[in-house]
Amino acid sequence: MSSTDAQSIHRPAFDIAELDYALPEELIAQHPPKDRGSSRLMVVDRSAQTIADDSVENLTDYLRAGDALVMNDTRVVPAKFRLKRSTGGIIDALFLDEPEPCVWDVLLKGAQRVSIGETLFLDDPSSDNGDALFSLVAMSQGGRGRWQLEFQGGQSIPAAEILERVGRMPLPPYIKRAKGTDENDAEDMQRYQTIYANKPGAVAAPTAGLHFTEPLLARIRDASIATQFVTLHVGYGTFAPVEVTNLAEHKMHHEHYAISQDTCDAIAQARERGGRVIAVGTTSARVLESAWQVNRLSAEARGSTDLFCYPPYSFGGFDALMTNFHLPKSTLMALVMAFGGIDLIHRAYEHAVAREYRFFSYGDAMLIL
């Protein structure tokens, strides 16, 4: 049985309306804070049912010696790029996956203009004469703008290497950038990435990790708190809208994950000492919970997970969660509400709006204890 089969056998009904809340548009953070790590931190205590305001720089005040902090070390690839048609028309594209050498799964904007068998050209924005780097053939269409493209000439350079040369950061759709704003592009290339990003493969950032700085990590380690890493390559499905009323009917997207034996051992040691496992972000939470279902975090695990946590759900892989504020009616909101409790998270989000916290990827953070 896979890590998610057990959750799929008896899926209770849950109304998506519970995940909704009113958010003024001006609270959606369009840029990162001036200084990394300077964001606000809401501290939510499940036992005391309390909500407090603080800052990320004071995170260690809420951690204890012997705890283990688990972060996602995936690296965002600059997955947005442009393709040119033989007619000269431009098509915006988003890289999704490389299922096999020479083959890319992509989302194409204006995909209805593309025909099966058509040759598209990958532009090199650094080229003075506008030369195309590669040519690709549109092989098949998967619906909703999804296409599979195959490189001509047996191109076998890894996707991450090509995208580092031609791509731009795949900012989520709620972050707006004017065309030709090179300064913002440079800012996003640096700030839409955690400082410990190591393994390329994500098309969206694990945003709770964006708050961490080297000085903060040093203070955490000096406080005898273990810092460990897992990997989950965040897919574009994290932004996919939930289109059902009953969450039991929602089909979750797959994402590749890995957790090492060293991380499993560190978690076991923390729990033996009475410490807690703190997941940094819903992505780390999904890895820990997926691995918990596979082997109770007793040994390394890797694979693909479509785990969907929504109320009611009993967690076993972690004890506390640091996360950003998420979109209404999203699967991420469902996970947070499953962990923090429906009523308490409703109160927390009302508190955040009233006190004008910054929301979403570049926004402030919440720590659920």
Name the class of domain 5-76+190-368: alpha beta
Q: Where exactly are the structural domains of the chain?
A: 5-76+190-368, 80-167
Please state which architecture CATH assigns to domain 80-167.
Beta Barrel (2.40)
Low-confidence ranges of the chain (pLDDT < 50): 1-8
pLDDT of residue 142: 86
- Asked if domains 5-76+190-368 and 80-167 share a fold, the reply is no
Supply the pLDDT for residue 158: 86
Q: What is the pTM of this model?
A: 0.92
Residue 113's pLDDT is: 85
Inter-CA distances, 150 with 117, 144, 160, 164, 329, Å: 10, 19, 16, 19, 36
Q: For residue 182, what pLDDT is reported?
A: 54
